[in-house]
Amino acid sequence: MSTEAVQPGADQPEQRRIGVYICHCGGNISDYVDVNAVREALAEEPGVVVSESPVFACSDGTQHDMIDAIHDQHLDGLVVASCSPKLHQVTFRNVAKRADLNQYAYTQVNVREQASWAHPHDRAGATEKAIGLVRAGVAKTRLSDPLEPLVVKTEPRTLVVGGGIAGLRAAIGLADLGIAVVLVEREAELGGWTGRFGPTFPDNRLGSDEVDELVEQIRGRRDITVYTRAELTGKAGSFGNYDVQLTLHREGSDKLLEVRVGSIIVATGFDSYAPDEGEYGYGMDGVLTLPEFKAMVDAAPSGPLTVNGRPVRSIGYIYCVGSRQEAPGNEYCSKFCCTATVHASLQVAALDPSIRQFHVYRDIRAYGRNELLFNESRDKGSTYLKFADDNPPAVSKLANGTLGLTVTDLLTESREVMLPVDLVVLVTGMVPRQNTSLVELLKLPLGSDGFFNEIHPKLRPVETVVDGVMIAGCCQSPRTVGESVAAGLAAVAQSAALLKKGFAELEPLVARVDPDKCTGSGACLTTCPYEAITSIQWEGRTIASVDPATCKGCGGCVPLCEQDAIDLLGYTDAQMRAAIEELVAAQPQKEPVA
Amino acid sequence: MDYDVLVIGSGIGGMESSIKLADMGYRVLLVEKEASVGGRMILLSKVFPTLDCASCISGPKMSSTVNHPNITSKTFSEVESIRRTEDGRFVATIREKAKFVDWAACTGCDMCQKACTVAVPDQFNANLAARRAAYIAFPQAVPKKAVLQREGTSPCIGACPAGIKAHGYVSLVRSGKYEEAFQLVLDATPLVGTLGRACYAPCESECTRAKLEGPVPIRLIKRFAADRHYESADGSPAVEVAEANGRKIAIIGSGPAGLTAAWQLARKGYAVTILEKRDQPGGYLRHAIPAYRLPHDVVDADIANLTALGVEIRCNAPVTDPEALKAEGYDAVILATGTQVATRMDVPGEDASGSVNGLDFLAAVANGQAPDLSGKRVVVVGGGNVAMDAARVSLRLGAAEAKVAYRRTRAEMPAHHVESKDAEAEGAVFELLVAPTEVIVADGKVTGVRMQKMQLGAPDASGRRSPEPIPGSDYVIDCDLVISTIGMSPDPTPFATLADRRGRISVDSKTLQTAVPYLFAAGDVTAGATDITRAIGSGRRAAHMVDRWLNDQPLDGFTALDDRLETISQDSVLARQTAFGHRHPVNGEVSLQKFPRDFSEIEAPLTIDQARAGAGSCLDCGVCSECQQCVQACPAFAIKMDQRDKLTELHVGAVVVATGHKLFAADLKPEYGFGKFANVITGMQMDRLLAPTRPFNTVLRPGDGKVPDRIAYISCTGSRDKTVGNPLCSKFCCMYSIKQNQLIMGALPLADVTMHYMDMRAAGKRYEEFYTQARDMGAQYIKGRVSRIVEEPNGDLLVRYEDIEGGGGIVEASYDLVVLAVGIQPNREVERLFGETPLGLDEYYYVAEPSAEISPGQTTIPGVFVAGTASGAKDIVDTILHAGAAVAQVAAHLEHQHFTEEVMA
């Protein structure tokens, strides 16, 4: 492995030839940071032979300019000061690769989030900070050593966590591509929410039928192994070769199973919002949540609809229960519930067109083609009443035992109306499922809404910051059946793109032990959360050794070594010290233009 | 199989599909109809809900797309058709549209764009600004290469038998490039001043502007450019000349064909000698066209272009033995002697004194041997242009009476209408339906012409009705001079063996080569009497062919006339105009007086203002004007006007349709005034106004450039609206409006932003939070539809709307700028793709997905998948996931295909 040959910072490097690009990012940076001042300041830095400020560093044109500069100016280092490395580190590493420059001689400096967006009202200060940050990036780059990615063979097998519609479809999609699948489902039955549904939109097929068909297909696939009443309980290794531990809950005792997989798709779904007791009358006889109502309608024979033995002659729907509000519930919109409710109301109309239906809503979000269902429901007699965000409806028990739904209707000149109804449906949305152990195990990032977070909704929409761990379906955000399936298949495509090559390139930014300095104190051994450090015998002595494929480069071991025998490749002590020195150095000689 | 997958369209859905498939190891062919990949997203400002720059997301994807080793991207190409073969694969016919730029050489330097003289609405700026006919799609284009937009040959150019690029020099004059305009004509012929006066301008008859207020004054614009050049001409060569190649050419005749051929050959380095039998050069330009139409100094100036290059014109040098020329060392000879023989009337008395033919009469006047016709009565026999010239010259020589006797009616007269009209205005009198039977002579002098009255009979071969004599209708017109102008023909001596029975030299019409290989013939000597433009065209052709012949090249490649794009129809030019500015036609001023007495030029030149205003009325029919400025400006010599569309058939295993959508055409909601009220714009236009690559440096309203303070949004423009046939919701308009609301409040902190909405459809991850954020920033959201917009005199807009939450009343509010949140329309180009077994569409013409829930992206044709908005409204995030779904299924299809194949094998 070529990392072995590298002696980081062993000798003082000769003068480097570094190219620096300060991106305008359209105006995201240049509106708040004087990029020309940054460029001029950097041009004077030792070792900087190119200093440019393109409008879009990531554009194809600028990428070509960089490649030309690397060739023509014989650059051996590249620094782009632009956005977060999450966005474009890969982009510019690829530029370096295309120009035959070692990709680890590239450093991304984030002046967008850290200078321009952080200090939008202080141009001089933001500029000064940007100069410091870029100088630090240059200092780090000056001491960079060429590194090669660790190439590991990958296991052509994917673990799918969750046997709902997204997980089932993903499993088939993977098997179609020749990737073996292990699917674990916590419940005894496959199918999740959809498997319990009657008709779904837009295809109007029974959710249970859709699931049955997928399960039937899976049965015929030898390359899909399904474990129900099973959970993911352990994970070791790294992308391409995860050793996962499955716990099978079996009569009497749990059984443990170890499987090696290349990647993991998490499709653990959602929970339905559970209203508080008394929230819009929840708990009263005849007040149901959307899933409860859907189950009731799906289960109804050809009519009439009854609740607790009473015939239902009228229904009131209260939308956005638990959604689009600060408390109780959630700020976010659950996206699917408007259309799901409209769709269910059409089922009711089909059962018995004489049932009166009142929809008490804020905005009907029947987006796209779903608008047709919304139109149809009105054609079939549904009445829509809109309430103001700050004036929600109320549910009461009427003397005759039915329910009273009181609403101030914006659509009829804000008149207060009281609708006597037999049934009140609380249109509840989706909430993130409590999966604490899974989150901790996989180190899955959560968004502010509690759902799993992708790296970037447009650039890497199914990937998480954990390499090889993808998310799909409603565990990521509320969505419909079709959208969940699309996300599941997108995760299939992403997973296959990674695994079909047969090998993966891992970051070589790992800890390394200097055997001459190591005294074998063992202080580092216990700190490693990945168990990447072991004791070995070397020239008659016991020293520590890091397995580069297991090491995640977290750096946790580095400061613990009293002998300073551990360094982190790509982020060596010397590099970090040089970067920090630049950051704390005197003010830039040149006053930035305010 | 050429490629595993064909992806049609390189918007975000197409790029995502291509990159993912390529990452999986499949070979992808990506076809994009525009010159750059990227679709619509790259044109946006920022994208919701993260407010990332659209460029920062799209730009790197565009770069990855074109640089990916497994992706072949064909931009500026279209899929013509796709056929499914029996084995379940596809044969796609790809049209690589002519770019007229060699992309291998183009560096994207922008010089062509800067040099281009034609401006058209910039579709990449939502028509808010103009771009050039030579253009790079947009600054972030990938690949960054130029394209020339050529919709066809402009009708004016297509009409010119000389192959002169009328649109080009009109466009140059419009741009103030007068010398360049002159040079463009000079590239075809040295006779720029001549054409500016004596050309019958077939270009103007075809001018599309003629269908509106009147044609562009093309001929006078050329004269303007010529006059301007000659004012400062100093006798030095006006063009660069190739180094002498040591070869000699003889050209017999110095009319327009001979002069033009000499010009072209001299520029190529040939030593050219013109042999002219008369004592002055110019042929009929000097000897037939009277000086009041074409002054002799103009002919001299044109000929001086030629002599400045060293062309020798030997006058009084009739050729009697062409073989002797060969012996003298001439490598080739071009015969361009025109039509020297006047057709005889064949009536008694024709040869008497006082009876002349028009050619001799006009030549004598041109040579200073004009007879004194004071008080004389003149009869001109014939109805062509020469007849008119003879009559008008007679009047200038003092004739008391000039009668033009013609055997048919005015309608059949071969003279151009303007000529006969002007002749009449100067005092000529027409005797119609008469034919001469005798020139009456007394005492050896003409005293009159006996005429026979005629009537029109059945149409002859030319379609004109033949005149038939009316028996016994003779009468005599008394006169002192009879001038016969009833036709002319070539004089084939001494080449009689090469001539046909009409005396015309026989040539191959494409090569102009005679039966004697070194002898070529050009102009009227091959075709009979035509006109200057045809002679020039023929002269150019002869020069080209002689050059080819002497270099042992095949006699072809005369692109100026033989390889023009099809002429664009006037109707299609008129149809593509969104608005016409009324242009007062610029007409030349001709001073006509009865019985004129001098030969001074009767037509006034255009002033500089007239020339530019006249040129400014050009509609740029073919878009590219062929002005050649880009050709000269391109440092890479990449402009290739002879490039043509190329069709290729390719075999692919699967197809991804990612053809995207169109935006609703907002003028279909006339009550909102889009296209009529300058300050009503679309959401796409606002996105351009906000983008980092925006056309102006701020958000402004197009009507007067004012920075708006009060901005209204009208949601659901063209969506959820049965009145326009679209009940569907477009999904992304609420969100892009909210995004723009936020960006406007950032760009214009004092502006008020109000959105009139039906339902705020902020449905998606972090969308509701984004909406809340906009409200917190101060954007106003009013529920209720807008029924009408009225424009106020200052350009402000009175918006009439329902305020549902405010009590439901009808309210009017004034805004500076109104943004119509237009939605999505299907891109119906997909309908033709699959020919006779078309792709299934839903009832709203989006690509149907039979199993939208379980197999999103699957279509009605096995092996064909759809990604993105081609199957219905989606925002960018949904499009990317949808593309991912399509990719997984494409890959499954291909794997199955490979597997089946292996099993079968």
> What is the DSSP track for A133-181?
HHHHHHHHHHT-----PEEEE--SEEEEE--SHHHHHHHHHHHHTT-EE
Task: Show Cβ contacts of residue B792 under 8 Å, excluding neighbours closer than 6 positions.
Answer: B798, B814
Under 8 Å between Cβ of A456 and A475: no
Divide the 905 residues of chain B into consecutive groups of 10 and give the mean pLDDT of each group. 97 97 96 97 95 91 94 98 95 98 94 96 94 94 95 97 97 97 97 97 96 95 97 86 96 98 98 96 96 96 96 95 90 96 94 95 95 96 96 96 95 92 96 96 94 91 86 94 95 87 94 96 95 97 98 95 95 85 84 92 96 96 97 96 96 98 96 95 97 91 96 97 96 98 95 97 96 96 96 97 90 98 96 94 97 97 98 97 98 90 68
Q: Between B23, B59, B763, which is nearest A335 by CB?
A: B763
**CA distance linking residue A531 with residue A547, whole number of Å:** 9
Query: In this structure, what is the dihedral angle of CA atoms B669, B672, B674, B677, given to the nearest 10 degrees?
Result: 150
Under 8 Å between Cβ of B899 and B31: no
Q: Between B60, B783, B882, which is nearest A486 by CB?
A: B882
Task: Show Cβ contacts of residue B468 under 8 Å, excluding neighbours closer than 6 positions.
Answer: B454, B455, B456, B457
> Shortest CA distance to A308 belongs to which of A325, A291, A287?
A287
Query: In this structure, what is the dihedral angle of CA atoms B831, B837, B841, B843, given to the nearest 10 degrees?
Result: 100
Please, which residues 101-130 of chain B have a Cβ atom closer than 8 Å to chain A? 108
Residue A545 domain flag: no
Under 8 Å between Cβ of B282 and B363: no
Phi, psi dihedrals of residue B10, rounded to the nearest 5°:
-120, 35
Question: Which of A119, A149, A179 is the C-terminal boundary of a domain?
Answer: A149
The CA distance from B565 to the nearest CA of chain A, in Å, is 33
If you measure CA to CA, which chain A residue comes closest to B868?
A: A486
Which tokens hold the place of B38?
A: 């990227």
**CA distance linking residue B577 with residue B620, whole number of Å:** 11
**CA distance linking residue B642 with residue B560, whole number of Å:** 10
**CA distance linking residue A488 with residue A496, whole number of Å:** 12
Residue A438 domain flag: yes
Question: Which of A431, A463, A487 is the C-terminal boundary of a domain?
Answer: A431
Do A426 and A438 sit in the same domain of this protein? no
Question: Which of A455, A480, A504 is the C-terminal boundary of a domain?
Answer: A504
pLDDT at position A8 is 44
The CATH number for A66's domain is: 3.40.50
> Shortest CA distance to B711 belongs to which of B736, B681, B731?
B681
Task: Show Cβ contacts of residue B405 under 8 Å, excluding neighbours closer than 6 positions.
Answer: B379, B380, B381, B382, B431, B434, B435, B436, B449, B451, B477
If you measure CA to CA, which chain B residue comes closest to A414?
A: B807
Do A210 and A341 sit in the same domain of this protein? no
Do A19 and A119 sit in the same domain of this protein? yes
Do A84 and A178 sit in the same domain of this protein? no
User: CB distance from B729 to chain A under 8 Å?
Assistant: yes
Under 8 Å between Cβ of A78 and A101: yes
pLDDT at position B904 is 65
The CA distance from B786 to the nearest CA of chain A, in Å, is 16
Domain enclosing residue A62, as ranges: 1-149
Do A111 and A3 sit in the same domain of this protein? yes
Residue A568 domain flag: no
Do A240 and A204 sit in the same domain of this protein? yes
Report strand pairing: B77-84 vs A270-272: unpaired
The CA distance from A142 to the nearest CA of chain B, in Å, is 26
User: CB distance from B707 to chain A under 8 Å?
Assistant: no
Q: Which residues of B fall within a CB distance of 8 Å from A83?
A: 56
Apex B576 CA angle, B573 and B582, nearest 5: 75
Query: In this structure, what is the dihedral angle of CA atoms A380, A383, A388, A394, given to the nearest 10 degrees?
Result: -120
**CA distance linking residue A26 with residue B44, whole number of Å:** 12
Do A217 and A305 sit in the same domain of this protein? no
Do A353 and A426 sit in the same domain of this protein? yes
ipTM, 2 decimals? Answer: 0.89
Which tokens hold the place of B624?
A: 């590219």
The CA distance from B839 to the nearest CA of chain A, in Å, is 19
**CA distance linking residue A316 with residue A403, whole number of Å:** 9
Q: Which residues of B fall within a CB distance of 8 Å from A199?
A: none
Which tokens hold the place of A69?
A: 């500069």
The CA distance from B543 to the nearest CA of chain A, in Å, is 45
**CA distance linking residue B584 with residue B829, whole number of Å:** 39
Residue A407 domain flag: yes
Q: Which residues of B fall within a CB distance of 8 Å from A458?
A: 12, 47, 50, 52, 57, 876-877, 880
**CA distance linking residue A419 with residue A406, whole number of Å:** 6
Q: Between B50, B55, B143, which is nearest A56 by CB?
A: B55
Query: In this structure, what is the dihedral angle of CA atoms B109, B110, B114, B118, given to the nearest 10 degrees?
Result: 140
User: CB distance from B756 to chain A under 8 Å?
Assistant: no
Apex B205 CA angle, B202 and B209, nearest 5: 130
Q: Between A91, A363, A457, which is nearest B760 by CB?
A: A363
DSSP letter (8 states) at residue A368: G
Q: Between B63, B852, B857, which is nearest A63 by CB?
A: B63
* Enclosing H/E stretch for A248: strand A241-249
Under 8 Å between Cβ of B261 and B334: yes
**CA distance linking residue A538 with residue A554, whole number of Å:** 25
CB contact under 8 A, B854 and A485: yes
Other beta carbons within 10 angstroms of residue A316's beta carbon come to 29
Residue A455 domain flag: yes
Q: Between A210, A447, A501, which is nearest B854 by CB?
A: A210
Q: Which residues of B fall within a CB distance of 8 Å from A341?
A: none
Please, which residues 18-77 of chain B have a Cβ atom closer than 8 Å to chain A? 20, 23-25, 47, 50, 52-53, 55-57, 59-64, 66-67
Q: Between B23, B692, B892, which is nearest A173 by CB?
A: B892
Under 8 Å between Cβ of A490 and A498: no
Which tokens hold the place of A323?
A: 């959604």
Burial class (CB in 10 A: 0-12, 13-18, 19+), B723: exposed
Q: Which residues of B fall within a CB distance of 8 Å from A462?
A: 881, 884
The CATH number for A224's domain is: 3.50.50.60
List the beta bridge partners of residue A121.
Answer: none
> Shortest CA distance to B544 belongs to which of B163, B154, B157?
B163
pLDDT at position A1 is 35
Which tokens hold the place of A136?
A: 């630090």
Q: Which residues of A fall within a CB distance of 8 Å from B897?
A: none
Do A220 and A199 sit in the same domain of this protein? yes
> Shortest CA distance to A136 belongs to which of A159, A112, A109, A111?
A109
Divide the 594 residues of chain A into consecutive groups of 10 and give the mean pLDDT of each group. 42 78 91 95 95 92 94 96 90 94 96 93 94 96 94 96 98 97 97 96 95 97 96 92 95 94 98 95 96 95 80 96 88 97 97 96 97 97 95 94 95 94 97 94 93 94 93 97 97 94 90 94 88 91 91 90 94 94 70 51
Residue A363 domain flag: yes
B84-100 burial: b if 16+ Cβ within 10 Å, else e:
beeeebbebebbbbbbb
**CA distance linking residue A37 with residue A591, whole number of Å:** 9
Burial class (CB in 10 A: 0-12, 13-18, 19+), A497: buried
CB contact under 8 A, A365 and B889: no
CB contact under 8 A, A363 and B25: no
Under 8 Å between Cβ of A416 and A240: no
**CA distance linking residue B70 with residue A517, whole number of Å:** 47
The CA distance from A456 to the nearest CA of chain B, in Å, is 9
**CA distance linking residue B674 with residue B671, whole number of Å:** 8
List the beta bridge partners of residue A415.
Answer: A409
- Taking phi first (over 0 means left), then psi (-120 to 50 degrees means alpha), and beta for anything else, what does residue A315 get? beta
Apex B441 CA angle, B438 and B442, nearest 5: 150
The Cβ-side half-sphere exposure at B818, using a 13 Å CA radius, reads 33
Q: Indicate if the alpha-carbon torsion angle A443, A444, A445, A449 is positive or negative.
A: negative
Q: Which residues of B fall within a CB distance of 8 Å from A386?
A: 783, 804
Do A8 and A104 sit in the same domain of this protein? yes
Residue A528 domain flag: no
Under 8 Å between Cβ of A215 and A191: yes
Three-state DSSP state, A122: coil
User: CB distance from B142 to chain A under 8 Å?
Assistant: yes
User: CB distance from B810 to chain A under 8 Å?
Assistant: no
Give the number of domains in chain A: 3
Q: Is the peptide bond before B856 cis (omega within 30 degrees of 0)?
A: no
Do A397 and A454 sit in the same domain of this protein? no
**Residue whose structure tokens are 């050049």:** B229
Residue A85 domain flag: yes
Do A334 and A388 sit in the same domain of this protein? yes
Which tokens hold the place of B134?
A: 């030579």
The CA distance from B880 to the nearest CA of chain A, in Å, is 7
The CA distance from A450 to the nearest CA of chain B, in Å, is 11
Under 8 Å between Cβ of A336 and A370: no
**CA distance linking residue B333 with residue B336, whole number of Å:** 10
